[in-house]
């Protein structure tokens, strides 16, 4: 089976979607007797993309081609993994949808709204099948797009087993920290989390920091996170001496993120809308107690291994944080349940099930 992949965003997307695509490709590239992969990039990016993709995927031999050469490649299918389609092919097209946020909360600017929604509508019209990362996303696709449920196949995302924490942690300005991961955008709802931190009892407010890691503007008033691998030590310095100290790190490396998960007292996920919620599984894999909103796909992913609160309710979030921080038995039970839950999801299974969808769709196309 020859699969051509829209790889335009692969060199720059380090979020959940980027992790997903890298996880699929690294596994498929090891199965050359089953699948042949060609990465498609815009014409102007071919030279530099090949070098960067070789590094990202740890492969010396990659088939990287110009996107407009897809006709001459004649693949069995073209896979679009980035939410929607900004270009089309004359072959069997399959897309992965991670959420339909542009329809749930459309952009205020008409031009932006049209651009974001058009790629989804193009996908709905041009794909033979769509892969949804959760049953929740499957329902959202059929709700907002002209796509019958029979064309939407659910394949859950996965998570890598987490190694044991490789470092000790040195905290300056707090005794423990709550971790949140993601881009600081409205649907991630970090404002509710910040508010909840201020509602903790004073003794906890002054000793419990909040670390927000992800594609956000770093804290302007100092503070830092540093991983000294030579000393096997993670250092977190919170800015100032404020009550409920907060550190926004900006993007961090996978190594630093793993250590942040491992040393956090609690992982908080206040999002109001998710198609999956990969970071919840990552936290669970590291044995970190998870407190999460009850919105969208999150209960489907976290199951019984998280403490839930109503999305947007800062008081309820503060209560669940207090329980997870101060009740050692509850925290230990959450950590243990989270590890068990995370083991139910694997990238190997995701890769295998995705190829099975590809095979069924190709077989149906040739019938």
Query: Which sequence spans correspond to the domains of the chain?
Result: 2-158+346-365, 168-342
Residue 149's region, left for phi above 0, alpha for psi from -120 to 50, else beta, is alpha
Segment 288-293 mean pLDDT: 98
Q: 23 pLDDT exceeds 60?
A: yes
Confidence of residue 221 (pLDDT cuts 50, 70, 90): low
Q: Could you tell me which of 76, 61, 98, 97 has the C-alpha nearest to residue 5? A: 76
Question: Please, which pLDDT band fits residue 290 given cuts at 50, 70 and 90?
Answer: very high
Q: CATH assignment of 168-342? A: 3.40.50.2000
Confidence of residue 362 (pLDDT cuts 50, 70, 90): very high
Looking at residue 343, its pLDDT comes to 97
Q: pLDDT band for position 170 (50/70/90)? A: confident
Distance CA 340, CA 164 (A): 15
The confidence band for 367, taking pLDDT boundaries of 50, 70 and 90, is very low
Residue 201 pLDDT level (bands cut at 50, 70, 90): very high
The CATH number of the domain covering residues in 2-158+346-365? 3.40.50.2000
- Using CA atoms, how far apart are residues 36 and 53, in angstroms rounded to an integer? 16
What does the DSSP 8-state code read for residue 212? E
Would you say 167 and 232 are in contact if contact means Cβ atoms under 8 Å apart? yes
Report the length, in residues, of the chain. 367
| Mean pLDDT of the 42-59 span | 77
As a whole-number percent, the residues of the chain with pLDDT over 70 amount to 92
| pLDDT > 90 fraction of the chain, expressed in percent and rounded | 67
Q: What average pLDDT does range 204-225 have in this prediction? A: 77
Domains 2-158+346-365 and 168-342 share a fold: yes
């Amino acid at each position: 089976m020859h699969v051509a992949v829209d790889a335009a965003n692969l060199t720059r997307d380090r979020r959940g979607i980027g992790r997903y695509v890298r996880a699929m490709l690294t596994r498929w590239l090891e199965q050359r007797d089953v699948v042949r992969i060609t990465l498609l990039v815009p014409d102007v990016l071919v030279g530099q993309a090949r070098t960067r993709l070789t590094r990202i995927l740890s492969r010396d031999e990659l088939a990287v081609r110009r996107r407009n050469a897809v006709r001459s490649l004649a693949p069995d299918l073209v896979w679009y993994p980035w939410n929607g389609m900004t270009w089309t092919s004359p072959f069997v097209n399959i897309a992965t949808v991670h959420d339909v946020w542009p329809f749930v909360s459309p952009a205020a600017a008409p031009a932006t709204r049209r651009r974001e929604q058009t790629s989804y509508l193009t996908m709905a019209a041009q794909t033979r099948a769509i892969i949804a990362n959760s049953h929740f996303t499957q329902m959202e696709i059929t709700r907002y797009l002209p796509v019958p449920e029979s064309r939407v196949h659910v394949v859950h995302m996965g998570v890598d087993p987490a190694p044991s924490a490789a470092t000790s942690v040195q905290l300056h300005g707090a005794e423990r920290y709550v971790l949140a991961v993601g881009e600081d955008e409205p649907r991630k709802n970090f404002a509710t989390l910040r508010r909840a931190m201020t509602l903790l009892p004073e003794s906890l407010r002054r000793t419990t920091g909040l670390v927000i890691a992800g594609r956000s503007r770093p804290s302007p008033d100092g503070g830092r996170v540093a991983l000294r691998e030579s000393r096997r030590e993670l250092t977190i310095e919170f800015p100032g001496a404020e009550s409920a100290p907060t550190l926004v790190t900006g993007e961090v490396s996978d190594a630093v993120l793993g250590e942040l998960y491992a040393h956090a007292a609690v992982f908080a996920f206040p999002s109001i809308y998710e198609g999956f919620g990969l970071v919840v599984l990552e936290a669970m894999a590291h044995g970190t107690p998870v407190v999460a909103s009850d919105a969208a796909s999150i209960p489907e992913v976290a199951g019984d291994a998280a403490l839930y609160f109503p999305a947007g309710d800062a008081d309820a979030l503060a209560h669940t944080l207090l329980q997870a921080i101060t009740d050692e038995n509850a925290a230990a039970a959450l950590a243990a349940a989270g590890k068990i839950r995370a083991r139910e999801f694997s990238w190997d299974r995701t890769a295998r099930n995705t190829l099975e969808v590809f095979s069924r769709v190709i077989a149906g196309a040739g019938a």
